[in-house]
Each structure stands twice: as structure tokens, then as C-alpha cells.
């Protein structure tokens, strides 16, 4: 197995000393204790879908692709335990066969379940939390090789920390989730003037189970997406295969990819393209099994920064961001995405203690993005923005401590379970502070 690693966006890379591919918990434990005996750090690689180096392993890399699948499922209680290397795509398919489904999802399913919860992956919905809020139990391998379980009632502080733990507390071996019966989502997507969307944000959030919108800079319109749950037993009416291929593969991937390549070569075309894209957005309605609506195909590579802000600050932040983008020397090729989530009690969750709005900014790979991301970070920082742990940002532990009320509690638990920094890497050292040892 190659010791070289590179993430999906090509923004981060690392070369490990060794790669271990465990097939059971005993082998995970042996890998951890073996790394300790050799004086090396150890990290689970995941799928590499983070834009940060959170998954980079410079000591021993754990490849969990052989540690997958559902361990147990109780259809009555809807509690499902899954091995940590299972991707969301595989998990969704397995749950579907059981007549179950995740309560909420983001729009990418390439991540492992452990990587997704550890970095704070989320979907959208004013009354729904991120993926980690669906977790009711974890099994971890700690730095001394011991295997422990935690939940709201068993080692609750470890549970509060490890659900979004950046892989810094131990290697997650299994995740127990609360799921729900399979359901059908009715999807409605249509262009609307951005100003009208901003004026009615609260109404959109209250009226829909899952609401989000995309805005192409330089255009007047936003593409709004409303996903609402249908009654149990509802019949799905998905897009036909030809329409689906045209909408998602031809338009959202091939055409966008071609336009991005052209814009990278001729930047003067980007602003007109943004205005054109905003004006030709089309509407579509359909319904399908939940994960087929939540998840979309993303074949065009980009870089991304995303911040969580107090929900009441969203309109002001967008209105400040609009002229800032217009003033940039380098144009912005990709749309801005806006989602929401409910407050939760997970210590390093970006939605800890407050109802949250998420703003994600993107740029096509190979195009200048630093000035754009810097001005974005400045604007959201003024309202206490918290960066997504798996997306690009420049903050360090000193700044993040002021934005997370439970930051020091997390540091205390980290010191208790990994005093020597066995699970550290340069990214965790920057954002969490140096390991104690």
C-alpha cells in the first residue's frame, strides 16, 4: 500500500512511515500500540474528502477500507451499529435494504462515517442537527490500545468530545446511529431573486424541512432547494434516467466543468458567465428515497471554505459579502452555498449552543482563491464564525478557544486519553493546540 496520500481537492498531501490495513478491532489496537512502541503518531486516513489536512498521517496511516459494513441493526429501535471505515454511500445502501434511513445528510456521500462525524459534516434543516447528532454511541481505541465505549450515559464527557473529535482522541472503531424508517423526499428547485430569498429567510426555514440556496456571484438570482418529507408509504416519482443524466451529469458536471476550464484560461469570461448562469437557472420537481435526493454527484474539483455563524447574522453577512466579491481582483467561478442547522450540545460542533447558518464559498481548482477566502473569513469572523473542521481556514487554537465555550473541556479530555499526542498531526496541533506530554 502506498505511503503517499493526497486529498480529493489536491490541497493537502502527506507521506506516512507505514500503512496498516486492519480488519478487526484487535488489529486496530495492535496498530496503535505498535505505533506507540516505535514512537510514531497514528491517524485514520478516511476518504480524503476534507479540504484541510485533518486526515493526513505522517507516522502510521490506518487504512480502514477493509473495516466496513453494518455490525448490528435493530429495526424496532432503529439503532444501527456500523464499522468506522464504511462510506456514507455504502451505509445509505445498506440502510435502504433494511427499510431505514439517516435522519439528515449532506450532499456528498464519499466520506467514511467516522470521518464525516469527526469533522462536523452536516446537511440542512432548521430543526435538524449535523450528522454527529444522530450518533448515540461510539467504540474507540485509545492511545494505550484499550477499547472503550461511550454514550450519553457511559463516559459522557468522552462522548461529548469524540462525536466531533477530529480524530484526536482515539481511533473510532464503530459508530452507533439512531436512524428512522425509510422516507421519500419531495424536491423542489427553482431560481428566485437573491434579495427576495434574503427577505424571507425565516419563512423559508420554518416552512420547509430542508432548505438551502446557491448564489452565483455577479448574478441576481439564487437557486433555492426545498426538500420536504412525504407521508409514510408515499410513492417516489424520481426524475427519469434521461432527465437525471442530463441535469446532473451534462449540466452540473460536464457543462460546469467545461465553463470552469474556460474561465480559468480566460478570467474575463467569469463574471459574464456568473450573470448568465444566474439568469438561465431552471426549475425542477421530483421525489425519491431520501438519500437519492440529499446526495448529488460532484465531479468538478474545487476548493472550499465554510463557516458557521449565528443564524440571525446571515442576511447581514451575505449583504457584506456581495460588494466584497465584486471588488476582488480575481473573479469567482463557483457559487456560494447557504444552509442551516439546529443548535446542539457537542463540544466542538460548529452548531454548539446556537441555531446556525452555514455559508460555504468555493473556487475552481487552479484559480486564485486566497484573497477571496481571506475577505470571507474576515467578514464571518466579525460575527463569531466557526470554521468547518474539514474545510479551508487559517484559524489556530488561540482564536478557536474564544469561539467554543467547551474548548478547554475538550483539551482536558484529550490530555486524559492521549497525553503523548499519539493521534496528533500538524493540523490538530494548530487548531487544538500542542499535545501534552
Name the β-bridge partners of 101. Answer: 180
What does the pLDDT average to over 194-219? 96
Residue 436 has pLDDT above 70, yes or no: no
Residue spans of the domains in the chain: they are: 67-181, 184-387
The pLDDT of residue 297 is 83
- Reduced to 3 states (helix: H, G, I; strand: E, B; else coil), residue 187 is strand
- Residue 364 phi, psi (nearest 5): -65, 140
The pLDDT of residue 254 is 77
The pLDDT of residue 248 is 77
CATH 3.20.20.10 is the classification of domain 67-181: no
Residue 437 has pLDDT above 60, yes or no: no
Most confident segment among 8-12, 240-244, 255-259, 406-410: 406-410
Do 67-181 and 184-387 fold alike per CATH?
A: no
Distances from the Cα of 29 to the Cα of 85, 375, 413, angstroms: 15, 44, 20
Q: Which of 141-155, 243-257, 302-316, 361-375 has the weakest average pLDDT?
A: 243-257
- Residue 100 phi, psi (nearest 5): -120, 170
Residue 422 has pLDDT above 60, yes or no: yes
Q: Is 429 left (phi over 0), alpha (psi -120 to 50) or beta?
A: alpha
The pLDDT of residue 128 is 98
Residue 39 has pLDDT above 80, yes or no: yes
The pLDDT of residue 281 is 76
* Single pTM value for the model: 0.96
- Show the cell assigned to 395: 484559524
Residue 389: DSSP 8-state: T
Residue 121 has pLDDT above 80, yes or no: yes
- Residue 51 phi, psi (nearest 5): -85, -15
Q: How confident is the model at residue 333 (pLDDT cuts 50, 70, 90)?
A: very high
* CATH number for the domain whose boundaries are 184-387: 3.40.462.10
The pLDDT of residue 299 is 84
Residue 341 has pLDDT above 90, yes or no: yes
The pLDDT of residue 84 is 98
Tell me whether strands 336-341 and 210-215 are parallel, antiparallel or unpaired.
Answer: antiparallel
Q: For 277-318, what is each residue's pLDDT tens digit?
A: 877 778 899 999 999 999 988 888 999 999 999 999 999 999
Contact criterion met (CB below 8 Å) for 342 and 157: no
The pLDDT of residue 180 is 97
The pLDDT of residue 279 is 73
Q: Which of 160, 175, 200, 177 is nearest to 417 (CA)?
A: 160
Amino acid at each position: 500500500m502506498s505511503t503517499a496520500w493526497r486529498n480529493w481537492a489536491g490541497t493537502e498531501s502527506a507521506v506516512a512511515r507505514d500503512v496498516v490495513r486492519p480488519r478487526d478491532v484487535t488489529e486496530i489496537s495492535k496498530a496503535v500500540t505498535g505505533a506507540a512502541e516505535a514512537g510514531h503518531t497514528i491517524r485514520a486516513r478516511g476518504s480524503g474528502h476534507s479540504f484541510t489536512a485533518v486526515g493526513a498521517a505522517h507516522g502510521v496511516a490506518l487504512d480502514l477500507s477493509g473495516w466496513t459494513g453494518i455490525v448490528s441493526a435493530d429495526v424496532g429501535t432503529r439503532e444501527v451499529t456500523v464499522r468506522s471505515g464504511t462510506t456514507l454511500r455504502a451505509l445509505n445502501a445498506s440502510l435502504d435494504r433494511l427499510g431505514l434511513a439517516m435522519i439528515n445528510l449532506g450532499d456528498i456521500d464519499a466520506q467514511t462515517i467516522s470521518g464525516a462525524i469527526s469533522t462536523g459534516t452536516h446537511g440542512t434543516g432548521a430543526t435538524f442537527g449535523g450528522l454527529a447528532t444522530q450518533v448515540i454511541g461510539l467504540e474507540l481505541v485509545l492511545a494505550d490500545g484499550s477499547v472503550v465505549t461511550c454514550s450519553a450515559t457511559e463516559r459522557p464527557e468522552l462522548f461529548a468530545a469524540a462525536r466531533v473529535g477530529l480524530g484526536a482522541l482515539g481511533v473510532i472503531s464503530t459508530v452507533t446511529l439512531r436512524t428512522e424508517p425509510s422516507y421519500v423526499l419531495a424536491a423542489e428547485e427553482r431560481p428566485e431573486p437573491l434579495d427576495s430569498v434574503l427577505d424571507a429567510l425565516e419563512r423559508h426555514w420554518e416552512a420547509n424541512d430542508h432548505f438551502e440556496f446557491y448564489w452565483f456571484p455577479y448574478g441576481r438570482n439564487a437557486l433555492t432547494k426545498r426538500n420536504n418529507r412525504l407521508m409514510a408509504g408515499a410513492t417516489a416519482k424520481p426524475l427519469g434516467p434521461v432527465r437525471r443524466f442530463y441535469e446532473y451529469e451534462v449540466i452540473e458536471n460536464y457543462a460546469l466543468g467545461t465553463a470552469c476550464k474556460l474561465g480559468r484560461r480566460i478570467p474575463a469570461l467569469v463574471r459574464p458567465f456568473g450573470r448568465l448562469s444566474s439568469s438561465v437557472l431552471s426549475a425542477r420537481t421530483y421525489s425519491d428515497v431520501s438519500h437519492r435526493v440529499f446526495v448529488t454527484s460532484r465531479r468538478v474539483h474545487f476548493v472550499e471554505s465554510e463557516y458557521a455563524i449565528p443564524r440571525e447574522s446571515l442576511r447581514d453577512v451575505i449583504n457584506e459579502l456581495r460588494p466584497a466579491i465584486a471588488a476582488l481582483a480575481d473573479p469567482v467561478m463557483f457559487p456560494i452555498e447557504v444552509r442551516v442547522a439546529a443548535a446542539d450540545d457537542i463540544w466542538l460542533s460548529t452548531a454548539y449552543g446556537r441555531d446556525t447558518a452555514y455559508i460555504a464559498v468555493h473556487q475552481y481548482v487552479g484559480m486564485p482563491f486566497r484573497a477571496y477566502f481571506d475577505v470571507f473569513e474576515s467578514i464571518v469572523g466579525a460575527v463569531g464564525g466557526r470554521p468547518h473542521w474539514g474545510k479551508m481556514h487559517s484559524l489556530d487554537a488561540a482564536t478557536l478557544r474564544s469561539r467554543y465555550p467547551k474548548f478547554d473541556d475538550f483539551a482536558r479530555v484529550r490530555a486524559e486519553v492521549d497525553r503523548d499526542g499519539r493521534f496528533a498531526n500538524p493540523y490538530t496541533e494548530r487548531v487544538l493546540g500542542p499535545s501534552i506530554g
